[in-house]
């Protein structure tokens, strides 16, 4: 952790499935919460929420949900509070450099409102205390600080150093800018329920601006962040929230009708549902996960999906007896491994402050063990896709390289060729799938296609 950060540093692990974080919209004078509705109480609530998130006691979205349960407010107020707190998490290093090493949550929020959200000093003067207004005026008069590369990127030093070894500074900053922006809202059309043209027409009919994703055949990208939980297409199971990059993983696995398939780290089941639809609800699809709570979230989604071939199974670990019973029997296995989640910073900006070199090292051990265990399920000629939402080679290609060195019966298949066979054109610099927000407009994803010799 860099010395300027006020954050503590527990070591979480991120799931491969991207989660839509709350808020995710820029707040400005033209927005729903403008200078006419901005109040000192609202700013104080944003400061209180930011204080909770900066403590890093739990994931930011969980902490924010708990905050809103304890502090009732309207939808516009929640949006302002959420995005203000998330802006501080995203831009923590540049804000701290401007405010000072002993920055408080209050100062960071005020700095974020001025420097990142487009609110003017004049609009804030009317609602700030005299002390806060004077402090902001003093900050405005100071010269701009000289920033290190890590500060410019709003990354911890260790992460900036590792990424600097992979790319030039200009590309690192382009990646950082993309990761420090809110993610768009992507949907996946459930082909068991509807088609993409029909869904796009329905969205347009209801005044929801949307377009087809450029890569994922079932993907739809919305222009805004409308509430979807009570929307007819969502309730009918015709659409699910899923990042476009995540959708491509299903097409790398490319399961066929009637096959036996395993989603080894299923989580809440977003990719499981995609695999089931690609299989046209035939064959047998196991959804394994060590967390029963995550699998429980799959149940209502599964009920909406119209799939009958999905079998959720809670396991104790990768060598659970329920896993071993499938050894050598499966046609395809997806391993969306627990990882640092550093490719999902658009949605989970707290992860860059919560992960450490030590936590990443611990994850790589787990990733290697999970991949080795999952590979045992494949029958000769079967396919395995190993994937993460990490940007770091030690979680990605290094894991695959070590596995292939120890398992000569497996070989790497070019991901671009697998996608091209399904009409998905994507130029890749190497054999594996590597997606990045500044290039592809998706979360950061990595995937390798491995096949067992027949």
Angle in degrees, CA 11, 65, 348, rounded to 5: 40
- The β-bridge partners of 434 are 446
Considering the candidates 213, 265, 339, 389, report the single residue annotated as catalytic. Answer: 389
Quote the CA–CA distance of 18 and 21 in Å, as a whole number.
Answer: 9
Cα–Cα distance for residue pair 23/37, rounded to 1 Å: 17
Residue 361 DSSP one-character state: H
Q: In this structure, what token pair is assigned to residue 183?
A: 């993610």
Contact status, residue 453 vs residue 382, Cβ threshold 8 Å:
no
Strands 410-413 and 445-452: antiparallel
Query: What six digits make up the tokens of 123?
Result: 């609009």
Could you give phi then psi for residue 381, rounded to 5 degrees?
A: 85, 0
CA 4, CA 141: separation in Å to the nearest integer? 22
Q: Are 432 and 400 in contact (CB under 8 A)?
A: yes
Using DSSP's 3-state secondary structure scheme, residue 285 falls into strand
CA atoms lying within 13 Å on the CB side of residue 305? 26
Q: How many residues in the chain?
A: 454
Is 339 noted as a catalytic residue in this protein?
no
d(CA 358, CA 68) in angstroms, rounded, equals: 33
Comparing CA positions, the residue from 308, 305, 292 lying closest to residue 240 is: 305
Q: How far is CA 316 from CA 42, 119, 247, 293, in A?
A: 45, 50, 27, 13
Helices (H), 290-383: 292-305, 321-324, 351-354, 357-375
Question: Which H helix or E strand runs over 336?
Answer: strand 330-336
Place of tokens 């700030």: 128
Active-site residue numbers?
389
């Amino acid at each position: 952790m860099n010395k300027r950060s006020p954050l503590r540093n527990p070591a979480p692990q991120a799931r491969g499935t991207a989660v839509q974080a709350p808020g995710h919209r820029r707040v400005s004078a033209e927005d729903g919460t403008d200078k006419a509705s901005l109040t000192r109480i609202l700013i104080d609530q944003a400061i209180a929420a930011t204080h909770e998130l900066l403590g890093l006691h739990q994931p930011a979205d969980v902490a924010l949900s708990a905050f809103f349960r304890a502090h009732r407010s309207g939808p516009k107020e929640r949006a302002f509070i959420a995005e203000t707190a998330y802006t501080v998490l995203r831009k923590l290093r540049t804000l701290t450099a401007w405010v000072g090493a002993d920055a408080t949550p209050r100062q960071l929020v005020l700095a974020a409102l001025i420097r990142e959200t487009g609110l003017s000093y004049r609009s804030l003067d009317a609602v700030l205390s005299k002390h806060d207004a004077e402090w902001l005026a003093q900050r405005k008069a100071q010269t701009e600080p000289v920033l290190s590369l890590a500060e410019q990127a709003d990354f911890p030093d260790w992460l900036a150093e590792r990424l600097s070894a992979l790319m030039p500074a200009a590309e690192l900053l382009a990646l950082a800018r993309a990761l420090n922006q809110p993610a768009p809202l992507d949907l996946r059309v459930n082909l068991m329920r509807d088609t993409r043209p029909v869904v796009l027409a329905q969205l347009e009919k209801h005044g929801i601006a949307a377009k087809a994703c450029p890569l994922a055949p079932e993907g739809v990208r919305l222009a805004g962040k409308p509430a979807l939980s009570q929307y007819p297409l969502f309730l009918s199971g015709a659409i699910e929230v899923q990042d476009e990059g995540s959708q491509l993983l299903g097409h790398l696995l490319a399961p066929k009708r009637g096959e036996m398939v395993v989603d080894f780290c299923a989580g809440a089941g977003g990719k499981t549902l995609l695999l089931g639809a690609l299989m046209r609800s035939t064959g047998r699809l196991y959804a394994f996960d060590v967390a029963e709570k995550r699998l429980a979230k799959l149940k209502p989604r599964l009920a909406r999906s119209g799939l009958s071939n999905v079998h959720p199974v809670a396991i104790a670990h990768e060598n659970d007896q329920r896993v071993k019973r499938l050894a050598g029997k499966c046609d395809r296995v997806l391993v969306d491994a627990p990882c640092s989640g550093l490719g999902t910073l658009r949605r989970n900006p707290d992860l860059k402050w919560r992960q450490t070199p030590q936590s990443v090292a611990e994850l790589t051990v787990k990733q290697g063990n999970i991949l080795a265990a999952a590979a045992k399920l494949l029958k000769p000629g079967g396919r395995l896709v190993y994937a993460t939402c990490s940007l770091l080679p030690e979680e990605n290609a290094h894991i695959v390289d070590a596995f292939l060195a120890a398992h000569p019966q497996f070989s790497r298949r070019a991901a671009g060729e697998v996608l091209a066979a399904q009409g998905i054109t994507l130029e890749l610099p190497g054999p594996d799938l590597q997606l990045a927000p500044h290039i592809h407009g998706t979360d950061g994803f990595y995937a390798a296609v491995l096949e067992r010799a027949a």
